[in-house]
């Protein structure tokens, strides 16, 4: 540790590399770069660097991907203001939360003056430094109002920016929603993308008109009545859909590509409109709210591909790279190729994978572990195929709805449980005894059956390889969370040796140095 003379830095000492990262970022901003990327592995102390720069700025936003990390920022740096989404605050007018309150459609009451949500928002808008998550921030600055441009925009977990923008821009329409809100229209038949896009854009004035009609009907309805609540829900959907369809229209008119997913269920036709890329959307929706933008992640990996995906000229951005501080011997990666899990070999080799997981569980009889299964099909094969004496250690989930319960069961258990999951490669902390070993079953290629992914790879093939490497490195980072922590990671896919050789130039050096020879 190095003594810290900088008053803006939140701690008394620097971790290894923090001072150098701070100096390099300051120099890049001073040199005229608007965008700076801090590519630093877990344990590099990125949040402290961000807070120091936010304190030095005249005003700053700090955005994260998860509410859990928002809470961590506030706990570690209480001078920051915390702002969450409306659903986290009670409504004082009707028995609901602020995300379903009458004010969303312009109806105000005396009690609104003491609204917990708006009081928190007033504090957050006035604060020099405010922490929010991506989903709430994108909605507020683009649809809500109140938050304006600041001197510094800090984007933590910045590898998730593209996904956050895609999720924000996505529009989903169903026949059931149209019928429920009284819109006399049906979604078109057939697979033609242009037909669907034209129909969606043509809906905009009809949705606006229907919202205005409902606004007239709600006048005079008693507070708390079921009819008023139904009208409020309908107007909220109508107004939100108009906002997103208008965004779609603007992007399509500028030449943006969108994919259309169409399916049918018991309620009729459902159509999802999703942008193929967000390079043209990132600046107007997000970046324009920061005069300077700092992006931080442990998995930038390929800076050129990463920046290009966000519409940033790589030559116009500075990249600051920090070295790993965790000893490689504490976080070894061991190749144990056990099964080929591509579509043609999956059925044949799943039993071999189950045997490999069983062997690891026997090698670690007294230690907790996590098995990254990649898909629910693989997770189910493992949980159902293990011998009974090992199956009792497993904690798993069959859907996203059960995910948190499975994680909690693993964390709370005193016995050496094994978390088998297809969806926890990011955002969870399995430090110390929570996971002394982990297995990555399959190379986590993005699913090419998703038309958005297929179209995205067509535009930029390097993006597909980058996203795959990102997922591998993110999964690897779940278990070793500090310099004194230790855990071993096993790579079970038989194609991993070739993959690592092929992607050696994209994977970070601190990852490669941990790979042990078989």
pLDDT of residue 317: 97
Confidence of residue 266 (pLDDT cuts 50, 70, 90): confident
**What mean pLDDT value characterizes the chain?**
92
Burial category of 148 from C-beta neighbours within 10 Å (exposed 0-12, middle 13-18, buried 19 and up)? exposed
pLDDT of residue 105: 63
| Among candidate residues 230, 438, 415, the one with its CA nearest the CA of residue 332 | 438
Full DSSP string of 437-493: EEEE-S-----TTSHHHHHHHHH-HHHHHHHHHHHHHHHHTTT--STT---EEEEEE
Q: Write the pLDDT tens digit of every residue in 414-434.
A: 999 999 999 999 878 899 999
Angle at 18 between CA 15 and CA 19, to 5 degrees: 110
Whether the CB-CB separation of 132 and 74 falls below 8 Å is answered with no
Is pLDDT above 80 for 121? Answer: yes
Burial category of 21 from C-beta neighbours within 10 Å (exposed 0-12, middle 13-18, buried 19 and up)? buried
Q: How many Cβ atoms are within 10 Å of 309's Cβ, its own excluded?
A: 23
Cα–Cα distances (Å) from 331 to 106, 368, 378, 422, 510, in that order, read: 55, 15, 25, 22, 10
- Return the DSSP state at 221: P
0.85 surpassed by pTM: yes
Strands (E), 266-417: 268-275, 290-297, 317-321, 333-339, 369-372, 394-396
pLDDT of residue 518: 62
Is pLDDT above 50 for 2? Answer: no
Is pLDDT above 70 for 106? Answer: no
Of 174-188, 221-235, 371-385, where does the model show the most confidence?
371-385
- Return the DSSP state at 503: T
**Mean pLDDT over residues 442-471, rounded?**
94
Confidence of residue 3 (pLDDT cuts 50, 70, 90): very low
CA distance linking residue 314 with residue 35, whole number of Å: 9
Whether the CB-CB separation of 287 and 37 falls below 8 Å is answered with no
Is pLDDT above 70 for 283? Answer: yes
The phi and psi torsions of 272 (rounded to 5 degrees) equal -115, 130
Least confident range of 113-122, 380-389, 507-516: 113-122
**Mean pLDDT over residues 169-190, rounded?**
92
Of 173-182, 388-397, 475-484, where does the model show the most confidence?
388-397
- Percent of all residues in the chain with a pLDDT value above 90, rounded to a whole number: 77
Strand 488-493: give its sheet, edge to edge.
394-396, 418-421, 369-372, 437-440, 488-493, 333-339, 515-516
Cα–Cα distances (Å) from 423 to 161, 341, 485, in that order, read: 18, 17, 23
Is pLDDT above 50 for 132? Answer: yes
Residues in contact with 402: Cβ distance below 8 Å, sequence separation at least 6, in sequence order: none
Full DSSP string of 247-283: HHHHHHHTT--EEEEEEEETTEEEEEEEES--TTTHH
Whether the CB-CB separation of 25 and 16 falls below 8 Å is answered with no
Q: Write the pLDDT tens digit of every residue in 321-340.
A: 998 889 999 999 999 999 99
Is pLDDT above 90 for 444? Answer: yes
Strands (E), 11-98: 13-14, 35-39, 60-64, 81-82
Is pLDDT above 50 for 5? Answer: no
**Beta 258-265 vs 437-440: how paired, if at all?**
unpaired
Angle at 46 between CA 298 and CA 6, to 5 degrees: 155
Full DSSP string of 133-151: EHHHHHHIIIII-----EE
Is pLDDT above 50 for 302? Answer: yes
**Mean pLDDT over residues 80-109, rounded?**
83
- Percent of all residues in the chain with a pLDDT value above 70, rounded to a whole number: 97
Residue for token pair 């809500």: 144
pLDDT of residue 107: 67
CA distance linking residue 514 with residue 204, whole number of Å: 54
| Among candidate residues 305, 287, 293, the one with its CA nearest the CA of residue 37 | 293
CA distance linking residue 283 with residue 28, whole number of Å: 20
Residues in a beta bridge with 271 = 173, 262
Least confident range of 8-12, 34-38, 93-97, 511-515: 93-97
pLDDT of residue 172: 93
Residue for token pair 């304190």: 55
- What are the counts of helices (DSSP H) followed by strands (DSSP E) for the chain? 19, 19
Is pLDDT above 90 for 155? Answer: yes
Q: Which one is predicted more confidently, 61 or 231?
A: 61
- CA 234, chain centre distance (Å): 28
CA distance linking residue 198 with residue 202, whole number of Å: 6
Q: Which one is predicted more confidently, 315 or 2?
A: 315
pLDDT of residue 113: 84
Cα–Cα distances (Å) from 89 to 25, 131, 233, 517, in that order, read: 36, 16, 17, 53
């Amino acid at each position: 540790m190095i003594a810290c003379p900088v008053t803006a830095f939140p701690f008394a000492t620097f971790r290894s590399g923090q001072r150098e990262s701070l100096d390099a970022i300051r120099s890049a901003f001073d040199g005229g770069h608007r965008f700076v990327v801090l590519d630093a592995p877990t344990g590099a102390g990125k949040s402290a660097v961000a807070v120091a720069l936010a304190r030095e700025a005249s005003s700053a936003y700090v955005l994260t991907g998860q509410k859990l990390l928002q809470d961590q920022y506030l706990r570690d740096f209480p001078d920051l203001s915390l702002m969450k989404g409306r659903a986290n605050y009670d409504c004082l007018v009707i028995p609901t939360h602020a995300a379903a309150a009458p004010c969303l459609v312009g109806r105000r009451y005396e009690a609104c003056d003491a609204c917990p949500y708006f009081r928190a928002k007033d504090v957050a808008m006035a604060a020099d430094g405010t922490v929010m998550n991506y989903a709430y921030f994108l909605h507020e600055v683009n649809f809500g109002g109140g938050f304006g441009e600041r001197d510094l925009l800090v984007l933590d977990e910045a590898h998730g920016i593209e996904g956050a923008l895609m999720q924000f821009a996505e529009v989903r329409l169903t026949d059931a929603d149209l019928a429920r809100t009284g819109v006399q229209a049906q979604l078109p038949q057939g697979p033609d993308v242009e037909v669907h896009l034209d129909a969606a854009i043509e809906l905009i004035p009809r949705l606006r008109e229907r919202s205005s009609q409902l606004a007239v009907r709600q006048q005079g309805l008693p507070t708390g009545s079921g009819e008023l609540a139904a009208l409020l829900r309908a107007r909220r959907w109508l107004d939100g859909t108009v906002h997103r369809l208008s965004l779609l229209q603007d992007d399509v008119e500028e030449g943006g590509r969108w994919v259309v997913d169409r399916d049918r269920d018991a309620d009729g036709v459902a159509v999802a409109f999703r942008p193929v890329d967000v390079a043209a959307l990132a600046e107007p929706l997000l970046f324009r709210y920061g005069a300077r933008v700092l992006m931080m992640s442990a998995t930038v990996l390929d800076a050129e591909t990463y920046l290009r995906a966000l519409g940033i000229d790589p030559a116009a951005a500075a990249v600051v790279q920090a070295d790993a501080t965790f000893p490689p011997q504490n976080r070894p990666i061991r190749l144990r190729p056990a099964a080929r899990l591509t579509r043609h070999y999956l059925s044949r080799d799943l039993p071999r994978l189950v045997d490999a997981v069983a062997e690891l569980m026997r090698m670690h009889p007294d230690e907790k572990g996590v098995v990254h299964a990649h898909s629910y099909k693989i997770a189910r094969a493992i949980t159902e195929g293990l011998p009974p004496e090992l199956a009792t250690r497993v904690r798993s989930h069959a859907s996203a709805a059960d995910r948190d319960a499975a994680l909690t069961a693993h964390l709370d258990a005193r016995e050496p449980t094994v978390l088998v999951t297809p969806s926890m490669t990011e955002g969870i902390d399995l430090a110390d005894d929570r996971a002394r070993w982990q297995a990555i079953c399959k190379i986590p290629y993005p699913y090419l059956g998703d038309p958005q992914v297929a179209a995205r790879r067509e535009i930029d093939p390097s993006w597909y390889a980058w996203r795959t490497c990102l997922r591998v490195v993110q999964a690897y980072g779940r278990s070793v969370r500090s310099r004194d922590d230790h855990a071993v990671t096993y790579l079970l896919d038989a194609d991993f040796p070739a993959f690592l050789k092929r992607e050696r130039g994209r994977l970070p050096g601190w990852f490669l140095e941990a790979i042990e020879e078989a």
